[in-house]
Structure formats: C-alpha cells, structure tokens
Structure 1
Amino acid sequence: MSDAVGVVLVSHSAAVASSVAELARGLAGGAEVPVAAAGGLPDGSLGTSAELIVEAARSVDRGAGVAVLVDLGSAVLTVKALLAEGDELPAGTRLVDAPFVEGAVAAVVTAAAGSDLRAVAAAAGEAYAYRKV
C-alpha cells in the first residue's frame, strides 16, 4: 500500500517489538501494511533508542502518517522528545495512547483497511475497552 498509514511499535525489547509486529501483520490477513519494530538499543540490550525509532518511522512513512505505539514510560518520553524536536520524525507522526499488543493489532488491521491516521489512532485507543472477562 503506497499511501497506507505506517505503524511503528516501540518496546524496550527488540524481541517483544518484533513479535508484536509479526502478530499484528498476521492478524491483518497478510495485508501490505508498513509496520516496523523499534525495540531495545542498537547493541541489542534492553532500552529505548531514539535512533531506532526515527529509522523505523522513516521506513514506514508513505505520506499518510505514522502511528507510533509504545510499551512503557521511557519509550513514551523518547517519542515525545522526538515529536517536540519536530524535524527527525516524518511529518504526520503521532504518538498513540493505546495498549501495546491489542492497540498494535487494531492499528494494523485498521491501516490495512485503508483508513486514515485519525481512524488508525482511534481504533488503537479503543483497544483499552477490550474486555477479557
């Protein structure tokens, strides 16, 4: 999809980010949604890397916006700092307030349907209401 909303999944763990990306892609039925994992630090250790987040966001940017979902506190702070700087992330990049796994699936499935960034972010955020009991 050349004009699809891109999705970036930021976790403190490369394995977690990659696994959630794989899960979301699989549940989207194999649709060609640009999804990138930005997990851990460049050396493979646990943490959050601004460099990896920027690289991931640029890799999924197709001009329709980029939804960024994060796992924990410092990931939120890192993305907020990048957004405040204003020049490293692609235009139209948005931090989405959503649960990491359920929100990622909702975001990717909604992007696969051709929805805009607003709808992708809304679908991801609505995942907070998913009941398990």
Structure 2
Amino acid sequence: MIGIVIVSHSNKISTGIVELCKEMVRDDIKIISAGGTRDGKLGTDATLIMEAIEEANSGDGVAILVDIGSSIMSSEIAVEMLPEDMRKNTIILNAPIVEGSLAAAIQACISNDLEDIKRAGMEAKYMDKVES
C-alpha cells in the first residue's frame, strides 16, 4: 500500500486532515500526521517528517501533502535524508492539502500505483466546490 504523510505548520491541521481522510478510507491505508514541531509549536521539522515517511512506508511508496512555505522545504530535506530505496518512491504532491489528501487517500484504496495517487491529488486543484 502507498502511504500518505500530511505536513502542516500546525499539528492540529495535519491531525485533523488525517482524521478526515480516515473517515473516507480503509484502516489499512497508512496516513500519518507530521504537523508542527516536536515541541508542539507552529512550524515544521524535517526529522519529524522523515520519521513519518518511514512510518507510512510499507515498501510501495509514500505521497506527501504539504501546506505552505517551509513545509515544502522541510519535506524536501526529509526526502533527501531517506535511504535511496525509499527516496525513489517518495513524492511531494503539488496539491491542495485538504482536497488533495482526500483524493490521494481514496485513490490509494483503489490503486497501489504512486503515479495514480499523484494524479488524483493534483487533480484536486481543479475540483469545483460550488457552481460559478
């Protein structure tokens, strides 16, 4: 199974997104929160993110969804810290964190293909929420 890591500057946000995703998908999908800093403050922590990637990884790959700014940079650093075999199957999605996380989690139940999950997460950018 493809694992999913949610990275936000706020642990409350990333934990809430994980909770929302788990309402939509099977329990066997690993969706891990990596929000905030280790001491519970706002911010990001590359080591915390790396540990979340390792926890989410079952050998098939990991998709990371981020909010803004340093969450992207910290996720990139975390990926670089991984062993090569994990690094090549870990991607950061260019997707909205809430909608992209939901789409990626649902797709992970349907397909064990990292490219399918990437596409689903990224397509969430174009989801109409209300009629124009």
TM-score of the superposed pair, with normalisation by structure 1: 0.90
Corresponding residue for 1:109? 106
Counting only pairs closer than 5 Å after superposition, residues 35-50 of structure 1 correspond to structure 2 as: 35-50=31-46
Q: Percent identity?
A: 36
SS of alignment partner, residue 86 of structure 2: coil
Alpha-carbon offset, residue 113 of structure 1: 1.5
Corresponding residue for 1:70? 66
Pair 95,121 (structure 1): closer, same or farther in 2 beyond 3 Å: same
Counting only pairs closer than 5 Å after superposition, residues 81-100 of structure 1 correspond to structure 2 as: 81-85=77-81, 87=83, 90-91=86-87, 92-100=89-97
Corresponding residue for 2:55? 59
RMSD: 1.7
Q: Equivalents in 1 of 2:37, 2:74: separation in Å?
A: 12
For the pair 1:6 / 2:16, whether they are aligned, the reply is no
Alpha-carbon offset, residue 10 of structure 1: 0.2
> Partner letter of residue 18 of structure 1?
T
Question: Would you say the 8 A contact 1:82–1:88 is kept in 2?
Answer: no
Q: Equivalents in 2 of 1:73, 1:128: separation in Å?
A: 18
TM-score of the superposed pair, with normalisation by structure 2: 0.90
Unaligned runs of 5+ in 1: none
Counting only pairs closer than 5 Å after superposition, residues 111-126 of structure 1 correspond to structure 2 as: 111-126=108-123
> Partner letter of residue 101 of structure 1?
V
Q: Equivalents in 1 of 2:85, 2:34: separation in Å?
A: 13
Figure out how many residues of one structure are paired with residues of the other and give that number. Answer: 129
Alpha-carbon offset, residue 60 of structure 1: 0.9
State the 4+ residue runs in structure 1 displaced beyond 4 angstroms: none
> Partner letter of residue 60 of structure 2?
A
Instruction: Provide, for residues 12-64 of structure 1, a one-character-per-residue CA deviation record: whole Å limited to 9, x for no partner.
Output: 01111011011011122x34201100000000000001111011000010111
Question: Would you say the 8 A contact 1:57–1:89 is kept in 2?
Answer: no
83-92 or 63-72, which moves further after superposition?
A: 83-92
